[in-house]
Amino acid sequence: MLTTAFALVFFYAPVDADQGIIQKIFYVHVPLAIVALCGFVAGAVFGLMHLRTRDRRWDMRSYVTIHLSIVLAVGVLITGSIWARASWGQWFVWDEPMLVVFLIVFLLYATYQPLRFSIEDPEKQARYASVFAVTAGAFVPLCFGAVRMAQNLTHPQAGTMTTSGPASVSQTFLISLIGMALLFVTLCKYEMASKNATFKLRSLRRRLAGDDDDFAPAPRSAAPQL
């Protein structure tokens, strides 16, 4: 799906009149940003489910979505600054609320892993991380709502860019967005499966080791334990 999207980006969508080929990064940057933000909000929803049900699997889902969204957010910041360098002439523009807000959100979520790591008791770790996920998840829409309120015109809006251009632009954009979302979901599934496999393996080993003292405890990590 993503390959189709990228093929469309290069062969189907028209080259922007005044920005040239660099405008194509739009089809990576914007879907990345939208998917990352949705991932943060989804992490908050999963965190809330964990707090309500006390089921560790919700905490795992929350952890995995936030973890991958942070990775995507790094991608957003990198592609965004490449694009900004090419079209505005600067790596980072301070009077642009969208960029600043994204940076703040990124900095906030960057503390998620240290927070998990610095709590020892796994159950408490899961609960506190969920509380953080809910708080930060509510912070994301608030910030972006505030940005929409006081919008500056330098940062192109996804909406205006897709509706005002020819149809091929909006089609390509939509396909990249769906492709990126599918990529995100697939990555989440993979990480979840790998984590589950690790825990199964560990519990089997523990059973195998029985009462022997030579069983090595799991190394401390920020990831939730099942």
Partner 1 sequence: MKSAVAALLSKELALELRTRESVPAMVMFSITTYVLFHFGLDRDTIDGDLASGVLWVTLLFAAMLGINRLFVAEHEQGGFDGFLLAPVDRTAMFVAKAIALFAFLCAVELVAVPAFALLLLGPPLGQALPGLIVVLLAANAGVAVVGTLVAALAIQTRARELMVALLALPLLVPVVLGAARATAPLLHQGGAAALPVDWLGLLALYDLLFALIAYAIFDFLLED
Distance CA 167, CA 164 (A): 9
Question: Binding pattern to partner 1, positions 159-188, x when CB under 8 A?
Answer: ------------------------------
- Report the Cα–Cα distance between both ends of the chain, in Å, rounded: 33
Q: Which is nearer to partner 1, 28 or 60 (CB)?
A: 60
Q: Binder to partner 1 among 90, 118, 152, 221 (CB under 8 A)?
A: 118
By the rule CB under 8 A, 107 interacts with partner 1: yes
By the rule CB under 8 A, 143 interacts with partner 1: yes
By the rule CB under 8 A, 51 interacts with partner 1: yes
Distance CA 198, CA 46 (A): 22
By the rule CB under 8 A, 138 interacts with partner 1: yes
By the rule CB under 8 A, 108 interacts with partner 1: yes
Distance CA 10, CA 197 (A): 39
By the rule CB under 8 A, 115 interacts with partner 1: yes
By the rule CB under 8 A, 149 interacts with partner 1: yes
Q: Which is nearer to partner 1, 108 or 161 (CB)?
A: 108
Q: Which residues contact 160 (CB under 8 A, 6 or more apart)?
A: none
Span of 4-12, 108-116, 169-177, 186-194 interacting with partner 1 by CB under 8 A: 108-116
Other CB atoms within a 10 A radius of the CB of residue 11 amount to: 8
Q: Helices (DSSP H) in 88-209: which residue ranges?
A: 97-110, 112-117, 122-149, 158-164, 167-209
Q: How far is the CB of 89 from partner 1 (least distance, A)?
A: 25
Residue 30 half-sphere exposure, CB side, CA atoms within 13 Å? Answer: 22
Q: Which residues contact 191 (CB under 8 A, 6 or more apart)?
A: 64, 67, 68
List contacts with partner 1 (CB under 8 A): 51, 104-105, 107-108, 111, 114-115, 118-120, 124, 127-128, 130-132, 134-136, 138-139, 142-143, 146, 149-150
